[in-house]
Structure 1
Amino acid sequence: MSRYRNVALFLFLAAIWGSAFMAIKAGVEFIPPVLFAALRYDIAGVLMLGYAVVAVDDWYPTTRAGWTEVVIGGVFMIAAYHALLFVGETGPVSSAAAAVLVALSPVLTTAFARLLLPEEPVTATTWLGMGVALVGVAVLMNPDPERLLTDAVVSKSLVFGAAAAFALGSVLTRRVNGDLRIETMEAWSMLLGAGLMHAVSVAMPSESFAMIEWNATAILALAYLAVVASAVGFLVYFDLLDRLGPVEINMVSYVAPVFAALSGWLVLDEALTLYTVVGFLVIFAGFVVVKRRAVAREIGLLNTG
């Protein structure tokens, strides 16, 4: 029964995180992108902090290392990741393509870890897996050699930058090792990241609260992202992380694009291109190469369980 429960929660998490890309795409039509991301984490950060106060004893950082971890998370994993992602999704990049590019994060995380963490040395296989994954990115972007800086390529490059920022942030937090509960780290990073994105939004002449077009789509997109995809999603993530471990939970990144494609097609009438599908398969192959030992270990546990 526990196994079925884990599978159901895993698919639920993949569904809400995958469909979040569709909600972003829908919402940026009516809310300036960086401000949209900031508002999302204003709400999600307050909800997550409330949960942390109830769920854990150490609900706020008390050490310099702890606050450093929060700053890294707020700057890279919340502010940089979401600002780049939301701005990227204002352009001609589909929900599915954005989700596939973000699925590159586990591969990039491993590569950054090999470079920045002394206990994880760089290996030839790591570089091979990275190379395979980057080939997948190139396939997905499908650049025109005569016009390399098309709107589509720029938008996809911004989303790729978002994935890289998240991966770098996750490795740097491990390097600092502030010994924070993940609930505490997420809550304070969300609030810090929201504040940073508000500052960036204020500095951008193309963004202001006056530019928001409040309608049903904008309100539903914001509520879905803040409450369902962020607050509820991370609660499910915390539960599954304890039960499944980091390797299996990382696989959410590779199931989410399926739900991104389905929700984008159903709600926004987005078409799924061959380049997106092939790019996804090649990126996933890169993940398997990089994580081959961990994947083999998990398969062995499933066969003996």
Structure 2
Amino acid sequence: MARPQLLAWLGLALASLFWAGNSLVARAFSGPIPPLSLAFWRWAVALLILLPLVGPSLWRHRQVLRAAGWRLWVAALLAISLYNCLLYTAALSTAAINLSLVSTCLPLATFIGAGLLLGEWPARRAWFGLGLALLGLFWLIGQGDWGVLSSLSFAQGDLLMLLATLDWALYSLLLRRWSRYFQLPPFTLLGALVLLGLLMLAPLYAWDLMRGARFEPSPANLGAIGYTALFASVIAYHLWNIGLRELGAARTAMSNYLMPVFTALLAWLLLDEGLQAYHWIGGGLILLGLLLAGRLQESRA
């Protein structure tokens, strides 16, 4: 595996770790912080972090940004505005295990979408890697008992999570498809997406404020927003976009299977929940599936 691709996989693993933490924050603060407030302030703080770093670059690349035009607005709508509103709203009414289960649609949707939209049909063995990772994920969610999966019930928020997952798949595919319009340094592209996405989030946040949805600026709430802004936004999105550039949409989406593994590890470290045999078996299958997919070139079978 070439060094840039290896670094891209490592970056995606780190992004999955940060997004696993974001899922925990979304569930833990679903009461104290309204969903639209968390989405807005997450990106407002992220923009404050990014502007000193990318402000001059945005101005230098203004012709490229202008040429990208409506495509840049669509990408920002999908990645910044819609996805986060759907995710945080879903966390109000669905269980953690359901969020993980519904999110398994991402690699499959991206694999199929990459073939239909980009003509990038993965090789047969990459599909085998996808299936192996999916098997490990179901084993992890079912806690080593297939009967647990059959007894799962679904809440209203599960549909929102499904829409969020499909939204993210579409963003990843379009960013790859429109790559010739986005010939920008990765942080510059992220800064442009955050700026436009925040502009589209602002009316929704204002509407939420008029409905009386506010939160207490306590240290815990501000810390949660700070985490989502720096780690789950600036760093994780940057690493994801690099993965799309180096690996393609289908293989990048496979890294989504690492999130439940990291969620289990975080629960062990932060909540003192012991790691069981099914954690090791499920995590091992997921990592093996990722390894198989990662060693393959995205090509026709």
- How does the TM-score come out when normalised to structure 1? 0.69
CA displacement, residues 220-275 of structure 1 (integer Å, 9 cap, x when unaligned): 11011102222233455567777x64476555422232222333465568899999
1:262–1:31 Cα change, 3 Å? same
Find the counterpart in structure 1 of residue 265 from structure 2: 262
TM-fit CA distance, 1:22: 0.8
Find the counterpart in structure 1 of residue 256 from structure 2: 253
1:9–1:212 Cα change, 3 Å? same
Whether 1:216 aligns to 2:235 is no
Letter in 2 for 1:102: S
Instruction: Flag structure 1 segments of 5+ consecutive residues without an equivalent.
Output: 299-305
Kept in 2: contact 1:61–1:184 (CA 8 A)? no
Whether 1:162 aligns to 2:181 is no
Aligned mates of 2:98, 2:72 — CA distance in 1: 30
Aligned mates of 2:210, 2:151 — CA distance in 1: 29
Kept in 2: contact 1:74–1:189 (CA 8 A)? yes
TM-fit CA distance, 1:40: 0.3
The correspondence of residues 130-279 of structure 1 with structure 2, limited to 5 A, is 150-151=154-155, 154-177=156-179, 178-181=181-184, 182-204=186-208, 208=212, 211-236=214-239, 245-246=247-248, 250-264=253-267, 267=270
Find the counterpart in structure 2 of residue 106 from structure 1: 107
Find the counterpart in structure 2 of residue 301 from structure 1: none
Letter in 1 for 2:191: A
Aligned mates of 1:206, 1:279 — CA distance in 2: 46
Kept in 1: contact 2:261–2:279 (CA 8 A)? no
Which moved further from structure 2: 16-25 or 82-91? Answer: 16-25
1:282–1:108 Cα change, 3 Å? farther
1:276–1:294 Cα change, 3 Å? closer
The Cα RMSD (Å) is 4.6
Kept in 2: contact 1:100–1:280 (CA 8 A)? no
Kept in 1: contact 2:251–2:293 (CA 8 A)? no
Find the counterpart in structure 2 of residue 73 from structure 1: 75
Query: 2:296 is paired with a residue of what secondary structure?
Result: helix
Aligned mates of 2:276, 2:150 — CA distance in 1: 14
Letter in 1 for 2:233: S
Query: 1:296 is paired with a residue of what secondary structure?
Result: coil
Whether 1:20 aligns to 2:22 is yes
Letter in 2 for 1:256: M
Aligned mates of 1:138, 1:263 — CA distance in 2: 19
TM-fit CA distance, 1:115: 2.7
Find the counterpart in structure 2 of residue 296 from structure 1: 296
Kept in 1: contact 2:106–2:253 (CA 8 A)? no
Kept in 2: contact 1:77–1:166 (CA 8 A)? yes
CA displacement, residues 197-235 of structure 1 (integer Å, 9 cap, x when unaligned): 3322333589545x2133232111101110222223345
Letter in 1 for 2:202: H
Kept in 2: contact 1:18–1:259 (CA 8 A)? yes
1:254–1:80 Cα change, 3 Å? same
Kept in 2: contact 1:38–1:197 (CA 8 A)? yes
CA displacement, residues 158-207 of structure 1 (integer Å, 9 cap, x when unaligned): 21211100111222333344133233332122222223233223335895
Kept in 2: contact 1:52–1:183 (CA 8 A)? yes
TM-fit CA distance, 1:37: 0.7
1:297–1:179 Cα change, 3 Å? closer
CA displacement, residues 104-124 of structure 1 (integer Å, 9 cap, x when unaligned): 42332232232334x347999
Which moved further from structure 2: 246-255 or 30-39? Answer: 246-255
Kept in 2: contact 1:49–1:188 (CA 8 A)? no
CA displacement, residues 41-61 of structure 1 (integer Å, 9 cap, x when unaligned): 111133234323366884445
- Picking from 89, 92, 100, the partner of 2:91 is 89
